[in-house]
Structure 1
């Protein structure tokens, strides 16, 4: 890989440990003549003033992006880096997560490898989420983990019609549905009873949330396949991509999900193994 001269940092905005770790990373990088940029909306008030840049100019000002936080911060950084196909490295300042590559004690060594271009790229499937609605959610969105359609009010089911590859499949009576990538299979989809997929496996998972029907299993589809969800009753539904609510859907609105035409490019230093992280997360025994 080429040497890195411009690094974008995306710290967790409210976690003091992440902000301090980002300060340490910025100091280390600038002392080696590497420019640093931080999105204005991701800096704590009064912090990082010399590095701040408007969000819409961030990607163009970077060679790589470094997330400092947990998996949620990685998803935020992925949304900022995706348009420019920028490589993305995660520094873990949270609990044990699935996405962040670097632990704080290895920060200096990892940044040294980063700016020297001594890393590999792990390409992750991204969802293209096209919303057809008269509301603010209308348009195309991108998700590294998942798109979620869920009921707006407690205590009531919603009805969501599903088409797969333009053929009607079923109508779910459920609390909602989750359309996830393999990367997102360990998140909401898993909590709803979906399978765990290796991030190396290119697939899309369709998982109903608390369905009130006999068919309550997940479906595993290819990334070139298309899932269309249509709201078929007048009970409110919200759509959420990677943890961000983007709007309310009403009867007749639809959401089409398929694999995006390009991946998120995750930086790997060869230090973490997905299956060992999974083992640690669930406290699985050695024997």
Structure 2
């Protein structure tokens, strides 16, 4: 079988320098995958920072913008954090992504690295399932001016400072006052992020095709402040009323320090992330495997 994808980008851990042993492991994995993709008739382009960190050579490189305009598939090797970072950046280009899991959980990098040689060929030939994941677009507004702007595939989190007490937040949905709550923070999650921080804070799981947001308070002072599912057509506004050293986190990969009176508005992005999965892929299979359901059954 020959690949229907001609220009294939290879992306690994590129956000920060990794330990030498991990870099060597990543180099070996990426080298093997690059050679395999080439054998399938693909022209391989390595993401520029991936090449720099892992010292992989012999292939042309491109930055993320270049990948978005030049490549018709991205193969992401690493964990979910790697996929989160590249997924946000390539969403505007509509580049489909395949995830090969070299991390721990692998909710969105769902091909085990030891199986890529058998799983990838039919996918490259067009035998795959595709799903689209919604992105959040969040803006931090201070004194009427946007001071921070970010996308999130998992979640937008308002947190108290590490050594301070609770924060007090005022929450609106589509301009309607919802609540004023004291807590350790608040999580606004996409369905993709419902298996991440929101789950740890007591939120439910949302199927990826559910057109909704999940709003989950973190250790609320009033126990009747419970998680709630909102339509993803809503615009949510979160105002910091009180609390020291508070911050807003976007997929836990970018951060904005907050002042009293700052408002974080969250709405649905016009872009979506395209994931390709092996034919027959099921979200429920992923849940059973990653969350160890039915063990002992």
> How high is the TM-score relative to the length of structure 1?
0.90
Matches within 5 A, 1:216-255: 216-233=225-242, 235-255=244-264
Bigger Cα displacement from structure 2, 26-35 vs 142-151: 26-35
**2-side partners of 1:197 and 1:82: how far apart?**
21
Aligned to 2:9: 8
Matches within 5 A, 1:1-287: 3-13=4-14, 14=18, 15-16=22-23, 17-45=25-53, 47-49=55-57, 50-133=59-142, 138-233=147-242, 235-285=244-294, 287=297
Bigger Cα displacement from structure 2, 37-46 vs 182-191: 37-46
Answer whether contact 1:58 1:80 (CA < 8 A) is retained.
no
**2-side partners of 1:214 and 1:32: how far apart?**
56
Unaligned runs of 5+ in 2: none
Bigger Cα displacement from structure 2, 4-13 vs 160-169: 4-13
Count of aligned pairs between the two proteins: 286
Give 1:266 deviation, angstroms.
Answer: 0.8
Extract structure 1 runs of 4+ deviating beyond 4 A: none
Bigger Cα displacement from structure 2, 269-278 vs 242-251: 269-278
Give 1:126 deviation, angstroms.
Answer: 1.4
Give 1:179 deviation, angstroms.
Answer: 0.4
**2-side partners of 1:82 and 1:168: how far apart?**
32
Give 1:29 deviation, angstroms.
Answer: 1.9
**2-side partners of 1:138 and 1:271: how far apart?**
44
**2-side partners of 1:24 and 1:259: how far apart?**
38
**How large is the Cα RMSD of the aligned pairs?**
2.4
Assess, with a 3 A threshold, how the Cα gap between structure 1 residues 210 and 137 changes in structure 2: closer, same or farther.
Answer: farther
Give 1:61 deviation, angstroms.
Answer: 2.0
Unaligned runs of 5+ in 1: none
Alignment deviations for residues 131-180 of structure 1 (CA, whole Å, 9 cap, x no partner):
2137x982432111111111123241111110011011112211111100
Give 1:242 deviation, angstroms.
Answer: 1.2
> How high is the TM-score relative to the length of structure 2?
0.87
**2-side partners of 1:31 and 1:280: how far apart?**
31
